[in-house]
């Protein structure tokens, strides 16, 4: 049983997945930030690999990525930082990033390094299901990594079922057809989440995009197994002198 499976077997509700950017705020803060998240209630960590052209990210995460790149972060550096990280981090960790840097690193080499770290799963939003099925899915599975697909309010029922069947670990329900960090009307989101809930999908569902406080987290959790917080967390540590305290303060407001 891998860490993701273990988590979802043990816990089916109010799963808190927090996004952080590798190499942010400092180049070598990656593991420290993950540790603080783990200590303060994160069940799962989505670790972003910064990219110069992150199409599916909003301004806050974009800025954290630019900073991380300035700090000198790269996939090569990240895997060096992850060498012994399992001595400290026991929660599941999934890597989120874009295809281009991964292709340059070498797709299979990347999967191998993930398996060695070990990393539990991958989110590559610009790897479409056609390419996954014809080329990359086989490699990802060969290295025992879970691959998480996204669905949105615009995704048809038929396609949701297909993406659910391909997904392993969980299914990422994008809360609106909108970029991370943007504000939105949550009532339309509820209708959509209710629809997903009724579909009785194979995978657990985590809701992401626009989850920013206790209210939105609770709302998402009333329809799904949990939620993903990204921009709001990055914002909370953006100007913090002490990331540990800022993380604790932020997660406390969500989890009280």
Using the structure block, give the residue that is written with the tokens 């339309």: 188
| Alpha-carbon span 15 to 45, nearest angstrom | 11
Cβ proximity to other proteins, 137 vs 144, nearer residue: 137
Which range touches other proteins (CB under 8 A), out of 15-23, 54-62, 212-220, 238-246?
54-62
CB of 154 to other proteins, least distance (A): 4
DSSP states of 177-204: SS-TT----HHHHHHHHHHHHHT--SS-
Q: Give the contacts of 28 (CB within 8 A, at least 6 positions apart).
A: 81
Residue 142's CB: how many other CB atoms inside 10 A?
A: 12
What track of x and - describes contact with other proteins for positions 3 through 22 (by CB under 8 A)? --------------------
Residue 57 annotated as catalytic: yes
Packing angle of the helix pair 231-238, 59-71 (nearest 10 deg): 60
Q: Tokens for 193, please give them.
A: 């989440």
- 101 is a site residue for other proteins (CB under 8 A): yes
Single residue of 2, 26, 112, 178 touching other proteins by CB under 8 A: 178
27 binds other proteins (CB under 8 A): no
The residues assigned a catalytic role are: 46, 57
Q: Please report, as ranges, the residues that interact with other proteins according to CB under 8 A.
A: 51-53, 55-56, 58-59, 62, 66, 69, 74-76, 98-105, 125-128, 130-131, 149-152, 154-156, 159, 163, 174, 177-179, 182
């Amino acid at each position: 049983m891998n860490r993701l499976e273990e988590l979802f077997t043990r816990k089916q509700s109010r799963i808190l997945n927090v996004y952080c950017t590798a190499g942010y705020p400092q180049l070598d803060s990656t593991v420290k930030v993950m540790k603080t998240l783990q200590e303060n209630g994160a069940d799962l960590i989505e670790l972003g690999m910064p990219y110069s052209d992150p199409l599916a990210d909003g301004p806050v995460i974009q800025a954290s990525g630019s900073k991380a790149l300035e700090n000198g972060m790269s996939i090569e550096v990240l895997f060096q930082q992850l060498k012994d990280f399992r001595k400290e981090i026991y929660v599941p960790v999934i890597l989120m990033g874009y295809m281009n840097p991964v292709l340059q690193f070498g797709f299979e080499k990347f999967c191998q390094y993930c398996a060695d770290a070990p990393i539990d799963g991958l989110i590559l939003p610009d790897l479409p299901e056609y390419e996954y099925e014809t080329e990359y899915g086989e490699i990802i599975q060969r290295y025992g990594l879970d691959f998480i697909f996204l669905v949105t309010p615009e995704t048809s029922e038929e396609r949701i079922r297909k993406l659910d069947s391909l997904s392993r670990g969980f299914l990422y329900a994008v809360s609106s057809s909108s970029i991370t960090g943007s504000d939105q009307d949550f009532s339309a989101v509820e209708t959509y989440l209710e629809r997903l809930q009724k579909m009785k999908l194979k995978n657990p569902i985590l809701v992401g995009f626009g989850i920013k406080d206790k209210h939105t987290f609770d709302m998402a959790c009333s329809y799904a197994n949990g939620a993903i917080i990204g921009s709001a967390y990055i914002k909370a540590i953006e100007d913090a002198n002490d990331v540990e305290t800022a993380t604790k303060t932020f997660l406390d407001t969500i989890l009280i």
